[in-house]
């Protein structure tokens, strides 16, 4: 039975691969659309790219409003123009997410062809040719089928690879679109096809400037593999010339007329003595282990092929952040993947044709079904341990994010389609298909990325602000730990508040502020009951006092109001946790930062009105006792398995817990 199944798979390997590609496309498109629907794309890149695509469609090529300069001042992403006609059919961030998924899925096809070229058509030395001839004569049909199936296995390993899946789910970038032509370029290299090599190298490099580093490294690989002088010189010269041209284009459009990402390497000039300690870190080791684990560490058995990672590796290792799990979780892994998979194919091929058993019968790597499945099992384990699928499945089953979805949609529905908007991280992608949209975090800082210049929303229209309660806490955890941003943190709240008028509406953790001096008729976020409900003062350890609380109950609304006298600063670190208990006794915790209105004073001793929105928990809150906890929280922003930003607590201190009457 097993032999018949193996034979059937060998006869239908292309059909199986096509179905696997289609299945990947369906599954990850669905996950990306779900992640978008729950407002979990909060890394800024999806919003930036969607705005660039939208502006290009509407007559402003490569323009953007989130960064106040041409997109070409960030990256030489000329390949964007190839995707624009497709985007024009449905001008929405979800189009970009599906296109990125398709690009990653379809890359499995050239990987399959490259593996075939490696295992079947690859020229062999006289010694290896003898072993291969011996293999053909002595291996059984079943053993030959295992070797024949390797191209299918390595292509499926691509679709299961956690690095690929993490790239797919983390934001949107043009860089993944370079992978398809890069693998076709490697196929041309293996088959000594010069014209095709140039064609596919060009097709890859138009998506970002640093793809040229991989192309240039082909020359180094050709030297190690003793190929002709054409292969030693042309790829290196071609890649180097393109990289130089691309960086000159970027410098022309950049606000400071230089390649702004050089800031990551300024430490090499300032503190060159730290180089050894910078390279010898657990983060770098973690990154290298993450590259090898899903493929049984086979890539490290073919070090020549790994020379293709030299440029991208130096990019990461010599940058100020260095290597870490972030590389495995994000698009930074893209340029490592061609070398990793090429090295895996080469390692397996070398094992097959050089290891001998008994006399001169080669010891085939695929002699046993267990060994055949080992690469797939390792890839599947990598997907489960390092990839996004388990977390996505858990969230889908639990329904987590639906409350956020409803409240965010309610807020966004109040903003006119053609309005100029300042937006929170997670709301930005949903508002980016418009001419004038700005990131709240840049307005908060008052400077552009890397402080290359002042940041002022360039619009003569009234500005709206779509904001999340936790944004001020997020800014504190981020900017006080970033060297270029830290000097601009102070006064950020006031800079942001100065751009907009009063709070117009609130839903869940989201708020909308109207334009300055506006006569808008939107209902105010709450109305005071005729008489506040009496409650004895709740006094917390930091001196914060709740003098009274009052509720507003409507058919679709439950707000709890607190009149506070603020305690000792900094109030940006203070968070309320409300705990409700459902009918089964399970606790539901709802967190909300203390500060949820930009215009109210936050200094110690100030009077402050805090509003907690329980509208989406209304039925539970009306029946369950509610306990309230005030705590201070110091945290670090990290990425979760979905590629979304979450706060990882570093230090938490309770300032008191009370039960509300």
pLDDT-derived band at 46, boundaries 50, 70, 90: very high
| pLDDT per residue as tens digits for the range 589-627 | 888 888 778 888 778 788 887 878 777 777 777 777 788
The pLDDT of residue 356 is above 90? no
The pLDDT of residue 368 is above 70? no
The pLDDT of residue 570 is above 80? no
Q: Are 467 and 440 in contact (CB under 8 A)?
A: yes
- Paired sense of beta strands 361-362 and 356-357, if any: antiparallel
| pLDDT per residue as tens digits for the range 47-84 | 999 999 999 999 999 999 999 889 999 999 999 999 99
Q: Say what the pLDDT of residue 9 is.
A: 72
Residue 381 parent element (H or E): helix 369-386
Query: What is the distance between the alpha carbons of residues 437 and 458, in angstroms, rounded to a whole number?
Result: 10
Query: What region does 401 belong to: left with phi over 0, alpha with psi -120 to 50, or beta?
Result: left
Query: What is the distance between the alpha carbons of residues 113 and 32, in angstroms, rounded to a whole number?
Result: 28
The pLDDT of residue 191 is above 90? yes
Q: Say what the pLDDT of residue 519 is.
A: 54
Query: DSSP 3-state assignment of 608?
Result: strand
Residue 503: φ, ψ to 5°:
-65, 125
Q: Say what the pLDDT of residue 156 is.
A: 95
Residue with tokens 């949903």: 430
Residue 498: φ, ψ to 5°:
-70, -15
Residue 341 CB partners (closer than 8 Å, separation 6+): 111, 114, 154, 158, 183, 295, 299
Q: Say what the pLDDT of residue 141 is.
A: 54
The pLDDT of residue 398 is above 90? no
**Mean pLDDT of the residues in the chain:** 85
Task: Return the higher-pLDDT residue of 521 and 305.
Answer: 305
Q: Say what the pLDDT of residue 507 is.
A: 83
Q: Are 152 and 112 in contact (CB under 8 A)?
A: yes
Q: Say what the pLDDT of residue 285 is.
A: 93
Q: Say what the pLDDT of residue 518 is.
A: 63
Query: What is the distance between the alpha carbons of residues 334 and 311, in angstroms, rounded to a whole number?
Result: 12
- Paired sense of beta strands 420-423 and 437-439, if any: parallel
CA 123 to chain centre: 40
| pLDDT per residue as tens digits for the range 89-141 | 999 999 999 999 999 999 999 999 999 887 654 444 444 444 444 444 444 55
pLDDT-derived band at 354, boundaries 50, 70, 90: very low
Q: Say what the pLDDT of residue 534 is.
A: 56
The pLDDT of residue 37 is above 90? yes
Separation in Å, CA 389 to CA 79, 98, 148, 642: 30, 17, 30, 8
| Signed CA dihedral, 74, 79, 85, 89: sign only | negative
| pLDDT per residue as tens digits for the range 509-550 | 888 998 886 655 555 555 554 455 556 788 888 888 887 676
The pLDDT of residue 362 is above 50? no
Q: Are 69 and 135 in contact (CB under 8 A)?
A: no
Q: Say what the pLDDT of residue 460 is.
A: 79
Closest CA to 39 of 564, 410, 558, 523: 410
Most confident of 5-9, 21-25, 542-546: 21-25
Taking the whole predicted model, whether its pTM rises above 0.85 is answered as: yes
The pLDDT of residue 363 is above 90? no
Residue 496 CB partners (closer than 8 Å, separation 6+): 422, 440, 443, 444, 465, 598
Query: What is the distance between the alpha carbons of residues 305 and 186, in angstroms, rounded to a whole number?
Result: 11
Greatest CA separation for the chain: 97
Q: Say what the pLDDT of residue 614 is.
A: 78
The pLDDT of residue 565 is above 70? yes
Q: Say what the pLDDT of residue 621 is.
A: 73
Mean pLDDT of 550-557: 68
Closest CA to 614 of 539, 552, 558, 658: 558
Q: Which of 181-190, 377-386, 546-555, 557-566 has the lowest mean pLDDT?
A: 546-555
């Amino acid at each position: 039975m097993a032999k018949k199944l193996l034979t059937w798979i060998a006869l239908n390997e292309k059909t199986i691969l096509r179905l696997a590609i289609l299945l990947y496309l369906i599954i990850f498109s669905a996950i990306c659309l779900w992640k978008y629907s729950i407002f979990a794309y909060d890394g800024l890149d999806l919003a930036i790219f969607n705005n660039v695509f939208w502006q290009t469609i509407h007559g402003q090529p490569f323009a953007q409003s989130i960064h106040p300069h041409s997109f070409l001042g960030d990256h030489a992403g000329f390949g964007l123009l190839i995707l624009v006609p497709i985007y024009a059919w449905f001008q929405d961030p979800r189009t970009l997410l599906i296109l990125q998924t398709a690009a990653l899925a379809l890359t499995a096809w050239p990987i399959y062809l490259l593996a075939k070229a490696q295992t079947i058509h690859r020229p062999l030395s006289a010694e290896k040719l003898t072993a291969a001839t011996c293999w053909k004569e002595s291996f059984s049909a079943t053993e030959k089928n295992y070797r024949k199936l390797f191209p299918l296995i390595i292509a499926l390993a691509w679709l299961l690879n956690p690095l690929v899946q993490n790239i797919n789910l983390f934001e949107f970038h043009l860089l993944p679109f370079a992978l398809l032509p890069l693998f076709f370029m490697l196929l041309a290299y293996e088959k000594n096809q010069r014209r095709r090599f140039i064609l596919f190298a060009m097709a890859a490099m138009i998506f970002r400037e640093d793809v040229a580093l991989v192309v240039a490294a082909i020359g180094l690989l050709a030297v190690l593999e003793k190929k002709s002088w054409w292969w030693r010189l042309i790829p290196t010269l071609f890649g180097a010339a393109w990289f130089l041209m691309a960086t000159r284009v970027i410098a022309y459009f950049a606000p400071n007329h230089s390649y702004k990402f050089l800031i990551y390497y300024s430490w090499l000039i300032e503190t060159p003595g730290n180089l050894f300690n910078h390279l010898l870190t657990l983060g770098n080791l973690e990154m290298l282990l993450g590259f090898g684990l899903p493929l049984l560490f086979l890539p490290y058995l073919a070090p020549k092929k790994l020379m293709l990672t030299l440029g991208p590796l130096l990019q990461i290792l010599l940058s100020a952040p260095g290597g870490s799990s972030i590389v495995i979780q994000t698009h930074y892994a893209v340029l490592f993947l061609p070398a990793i998979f090429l090295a895996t194919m080469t390692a397996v091929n070398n094992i097959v044709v050089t290891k001998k058993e008994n006399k001169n019968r080669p010891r085939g790597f695929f002699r046993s079904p267990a060994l055949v499945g080992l690469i797939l099992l390792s890839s599947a384990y990598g997907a489960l341990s390092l990839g996004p699928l388990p977390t996505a499945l858990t969230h889908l089953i639990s329904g987590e994010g639906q409350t956020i979805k409803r409240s965010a949609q309610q807020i966004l529905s109040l903003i006119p389609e053609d309005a100029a908007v300042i937006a929170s991280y997670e709301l930005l992608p949903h508002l980016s298909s418009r001419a004038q949209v700005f990131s709240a975090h840049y307005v908060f800082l008052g400077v552009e990325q890397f402080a290359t210049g002042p940041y002022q929303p360039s619009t003569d229209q009234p500005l709206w602000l779509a904001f999340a309660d936790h944004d001020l806490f997020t800014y504190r955890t981020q900017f006080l730990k970033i060297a270029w941003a830290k000097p601009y943190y102070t006064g950020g709240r006031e800079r942001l508040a100065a751009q907009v008028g009063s709070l117009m509406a609130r839903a869940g953790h989201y708020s909308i502020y109207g334009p300055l001096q506006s006569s808008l008729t939107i209902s105010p976020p709450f109305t005071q009951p005729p008489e506040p409900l009496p409650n004895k003062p709740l006094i917390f350890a930091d001196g914060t006092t709740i003098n009274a609380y009052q509720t507003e109950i409507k058919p679709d609304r439950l707000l709890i109001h607190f009149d506070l006298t603020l305690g000792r600063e900094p109030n940006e670190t203070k968070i309320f946790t409300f705990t409700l208990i459902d009918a089964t006794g399970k606790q539901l915790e709802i967190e909300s930062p203390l500060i949820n209105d930009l215009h109210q004073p936050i200094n110690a001793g100030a009077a402050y009105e805090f509003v907690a929105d329980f509208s989406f928990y209304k039925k539970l809150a009306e029946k369950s006792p509610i306990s309230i906890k005030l705590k201070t929280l110091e945290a670090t922003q990290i990425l979760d398995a979905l590629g979304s930003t979450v706060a990882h607590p570093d230090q938490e201190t309770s300032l008191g817990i009370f039960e509300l009457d």
